[in-house]
Chains A and B, each alone.
Chain A
Amino acid sequence: MNLTEEQIERYSRHILLQDIGGPGQEKILNAKVLIIGAGGLGAPIALYLAAAGVGHIGIIDGDVVDLSNLQRQVIHFTPDLGKAKVESAKEKMQAINPDVKVTTYKDLIMASNARDMIKDYDFIVDGTDNFATKFLINDACVLEGKPYSHGGILRFDGQTFTHIPGEGCYRCIFDGPPPKDLIPTCSQAGVLGAIAGILGTIQAAEVLKFITGAGDLLTNRLMIFDAKKMKFREAKFKKRDNCPVCGVNPTVTELEDIEQAACDLKDA
């Protein structure tokens, strides 16, 4: 593939980077990334990946834009109220960059469709709001051998890591999802809007680093962000032999829907 003159100009700030250059930008243009959730995290992820020229972006979300979303879901605008989030997101992504092919899924990711949905993508990004789905995405990616970025936010805090096949996964840190309703979600406990931007852009940067091979990924490291103190910390972890999904004798060998509150308020 040869970059056109317009592409050379559009992506010039990437091409200037020694770790990316023309070949790196071509990799970005050929990449297929799936974003799960077009909300607080999904918004900055989708905007930055579209701007970066990720050639094919899939985006999954079953919801429509709600007034309480607009405090942080910066891909959706006031006139989009009531519109499917995936359609609203697609419009903005293609307005930023018509080079990008966007496939929308106005759907929920579930045990029955997860492996099928992720299998054609090179990298998966978790921008969902509940533990049932976060564990489902982890398990689906481990079972399909797909790399993915995990992200979670609450109040003034965020957590993220990048899973690469063969390295530590979410269940290497947390065995399984917490019981229903035990841990508050953003819809119950609130979240500072800009936190979604901070975490989502870290996830977007990880995607671009993965595609281009630039730098070191957040693998086997859980980054923890505390915006009240404005401090980043990290906890090291590794693939654990007794991990329920990636360990030696896994107990999770196929996907199962975990019954959960999964945000009673669907506009988490």
Chain B
Amino acid sequence: MKLTINGEEKIIEKDTLTISTLLLAESVKMPEMVSVELNGEMVERDVFDTQEVKEGDALEFLYFMGGGQ
């Protein structure tokens, strides 16, 4: 399915995906440290395993960014 992830169009070779399986498919390191926005709304972490991702969805994987000095 075609998805937009962090502003980039991507084709994921899967018919069904949840947030958790997508993070895995995208080889996201430390998925427990990533917050996810789906189509403009933050997804609660406790539904990562059940929240389905569909063709055309736009996702933002939000990573910790801690520098400043």
- Given A172-B42, A182-B30, A224-B60: A237 in contact with B68 (beta carbons within 8 A): no
- Cβ-defined contact, A236 with B37, below 8 A: yes
A263 to B66, CA, bound (A): 10
- Given A183-B33, A233-B60, A240-B42: A158 in contact with B7 (beta carbons within 8 A): no
Q: Say whether A49 faces chain B, with CB atoms less than 8 Å apart.
A: no
A238 to B35, CA, bound (A): 13
Rounded to whole Å, the gap between the CB of B4 and the closest CB of chain A is 10
Q: Which of A4-12, A15-23, A126-134, A210-218 contacts B (4 or more CB under 8 A)?
A: A126-134
Contact with B67, one of A42, A154, A175 (Cβ below 8 angstroms): A154
Q: Say whether B10 faces chain A, with CB atoms less than 8 Å apart.
A: no
- Cβ-defined contact, B65 with A154, below 8 A: yes
- Cβ-defined contact, A236 with B40, below 8 A: yes
Rounded to whole Å, the gap between the CB of A193 and the closest CB of chain B is 12
Interface size on A, residues (CB 8 A): 50
- Given A173-B35, A173-B42, A238-B42: A40 in contact with B66 (beta carbons within 8 A): no
- Residues of chain B within 8 A of A236, CB atoms compared: 37, 40-42
Rounded to whole Å, the gap between the CB of A204 and the closest CB of chain B is 14
- Residues of chain B within 8 A of A69, CB atoms compared: 69
- Cβ-defined contact, B65 with A263, below 8 A: no
- Cβ-defined contact, B68 with A41, below 8 A: yes
Q: Say whether A268 faces chain B, with CB atoms less than 8 Å apart.
A: yes
Q: Say whether A24 faces chain B, with CB atoms less than 8 Å apart.
A: no
Binding site for B on A (CB under 8 A): 37, 39-42, 63, 69, 73, 126-131, 134, 151-154, 157-159, 172-175, 178, 182-183, 185-187, 189, 191, 196, 222, 224, 226, 229, 231, 233, 235-238, 240, 242, 263, 267-268
Q: Which 4 A-B pairs have the closest CB atoms?
A: A39-B69, A186-B67, A129-B69, A152-B65
Binding site for A on B (CB under 8 A): 6-7, 30, 33, 35, 37, 40-42, 44-45, 60, 62, 64-69
28 CB contacts below 8 A, A to B, read A39-B69, A40-B68, A41-B69, A42-B69, A63-B69, A128-B68, A129-B66, A129-B67, A131-B66, A134-B66, A152-B64, A152-B66, A153-B67, A154-B65, A173-B42, A175-B45, A178-B33, A182-B33, A189-B67, A224-B6, A229-B7, A231-B7, A236-B37, A237-B42, A238-B42, A242-B44, A267-B69, A268-B69
